[in-house]
Homo-oligomer: A and B are copies of this chain.
Amino acid sequence: MDYDKIIKNIYSEVKHFYPAGKVADYIPELAKVDPDKFGVSLVTVYGEEINAGDCDERFSIQSIAKVFALSMAFSVLGEKIWERVGVEPSGSSFNSIVQLEYEKGKPRNPFINSGALVICDILISKRSDPKAEFLGIVRKLSGRKTINYNLKVAESEKDHGYKNAALINMMKSYGNIINPIEIVLELYYSICSVEMTCTELARIFLPFADLKNKFSCGGFELTKSQIKRINALMLSCGFYDESGEFAFEVGLPGKSGVGGGIAAINPNQYSVAVWSPRINEKGNSALGMKFLERLTTETEDSIF
């Protein structure tokens, strides 16, 4: 398939087409990004890289980081991880906290905030320096040693993060957070603050597409079966309460972040990263979703 041509065609077509959504502005650091940025990178399992637009500019990957936090914890704890977090989509966001109460502090899946906080808690219990290890993994997988946390963003998120503080306190009351709340929040906000380019993001997701090789990086390993399970979770739960819509329109496992990034994979084919800061009311990049919908329509190749 001539991905180079396809990517560039869709990029040109979509670029002028879809100005909906607005930049996340709940913290000043996210609000000041240029809303018209638009970058795309696709990496095939054969090593081909196609880039378009602002693919070399770093942005805050936010919730996309949760995929790697989960990968680390899954590698360390194995199937036991599912005793503390579920694998079901969460349904609509309006009932997130009552669901947590109803289900005794066990989050529905590792990609909603409560679930990712439990994952961070697991990492703190099991590793001596998960923050450094996380950075090591994304640096190694992307081949870029300059990738780093943006501590100003992390700090600012924490200062405004009353909903997350509510969630973690609720879980603590049910005994599903072991470590001190402050320490868990610190790790959580740090990993969400990592800044990467589309190219770097596409590269670090390649292991989820490249099923011929097991995931092995920085002392963490995942079997083919485990990778497939993470892919399944991305498909079911990767886009908040728009996960069904993404599966329906795009048909690829993926994960979005409130900074406007989306990473997705097509098994045995490619990984792809898109960045456009205007997000829709569900918190997903409007242009990014459009781009990916066009990609799988054009190639007639989703997982379904």
Contact = CB atoms under 8 A, between A and B. Distances in A.
Interface of A: 86-92, 94-95, 97-99, 101-103, 108-109, 162-163, 165-167, 169-170, 172-173, 224-225, 227-229, 231-233, 235-237, 241-245, 247-248, 251, 253, 267, 297, 300, 302-304
Contacts of A232: 244, 247-248, 251, 302, 304
A86 B282 CA distance: 15
A227 B245 CA distance: 15
Contact of A170 (B89, B162, B227): B162
A244 B248 contact: no
Chain A facing B: main interface SS: helix
A92 B99 contact: yes
Q: What 10 A-B pairs have minimum CB-CB distances, sorted nearest first?
A: A91-B91, A162-B173, A98-B98, A88-B244, A231-B304, A166-B169, A165-B169, A89-B89, A228-B304, A166-B170
A88 B163 CA distance: 24
Nearest to A164: B169
Contact of A244 (B86, B95, B225, B300): B86
Contacts of A89: 88-89, 91, 236, 243-244
A179 to B, nearest CB: 13
Given A170-B162, A228-B302, A244 B91 contact: no
B267 A303 contact: yes
Contacts of A247: 87, 232-233, 235-236
B88 A304 contact: no
Nearest to A241: B88
